[in-house]
Amino acid sequence: MAVLVDAMGKLCPEPVVMTKAELAKGTAELEVLVDNDIAVSNVTRLLSSQGFSVEVERNGDERKLKAKKTGEASSAINNSNNNSQLLAVFVTGKTLGRNDAELGEVLIKAFLGTLSKLTLRPAVIAFMNEGVKLALPESSACEHIKDLEKLGTKVLVCGTCTTHFNITDKVAVGTISNMFEIMEMLTSADKILTI
């Protein structure tokens, strides 16, 4: 019999945290109730990474994720660069530096463009706060982020932040994520670069 995780009305990252707590008990079959598509995406990714197959049923505002263990868990970060150390980049603003917005936009674009040229490319790059605006199609840095993603960098964009700025449906690159997944990826890295 499936265990029920009721995360209705819970804000990010609580649905993921609640689901992860149930998985830690060794649960092999569960149903997770959530009330928004970002939670569906985040919980589905967690369950899939832990070897679960997931079906989603929708009933009004309620989304029920039915999950069964069918495989093995995968690692948090895939080192597709074959480097000996894993680098994570944490971006919290839409500019590099805070005093001159025009210069800061030029610098962040150059910074992200340079990352794809490095020998040690980041395994993950996470965007929070105003940094999520860099993932919009009109951002001068968006193409550089797409290049990093094509080269194997996992791109995570904070769903709480995109919801706050009302831009979730406009994000052009990466995966809409949550605080739990972002922290898990950052803490799995050997080096974290925060800008």
Give tens-digit pLDDT for 66-102: 999 998 877 665 555 444 578 999 999 999 988 899 9
Contact in structure between 162 and 176 (CB atoms under 8 Å):
yes
**Backbone dihedral angles phi then psi of residue 7, each to the nearest 5 degrees:** -110, 25
Q: Helices 101-115 & 142-150, crossing angle to 10 degrees? A: 20
Q: Which pairing describes strands 175-177 and 87-91: parallel, antiparallel, or unpaired? A: unpaired
Give tens-digit pLDDT for 5-47: 999 998 878 999 899 999 999 999 999 999 988 899 989 999 9
Give the span between the Cα atoms of 182 and 76, in whole angstroms.
10
pLDDT value of residue 78: 54
Give the span between the Cα atoms of 143 and 105, in whole angstroms.
14
Q: In 3-state terms, what secondary structure has residue 157?
A: strand
Give tens-digit pLDDT for 92-129: 999 998 889 999 999 999 999 999 888 888 999 999 99
Are 63 and 92 within one domain?
no
Are 102 and 56 within one domain?
no
Find the CATH number of the domain harbouring 57: 3.30.110.40
Q: What is the mean pLDDT of the chain?
A: 91
Contact in structure between 172 and 142 (CB atoms under 8 Å):
yes
Max alpha carbon distance in the chain (Å)? 58
Give tens-digit pLDDT for 133-189: 999 999 999 999 999 999 999 999 999 999 999 999 999 999 999 999 999 999 999
- 148 lies in some domain: yes
- 125 lies in some domain: yes
Question: What is the value of pTM for the model shown?
Answer: 0.76
Q: In 3-state terms, what secondary structure has residue 65?
A: strand
Q: How many residues does the chain have?
A: 195
Are 97 and 175 within one domain?
yes
For the chain, what is the domain count?
A: 2
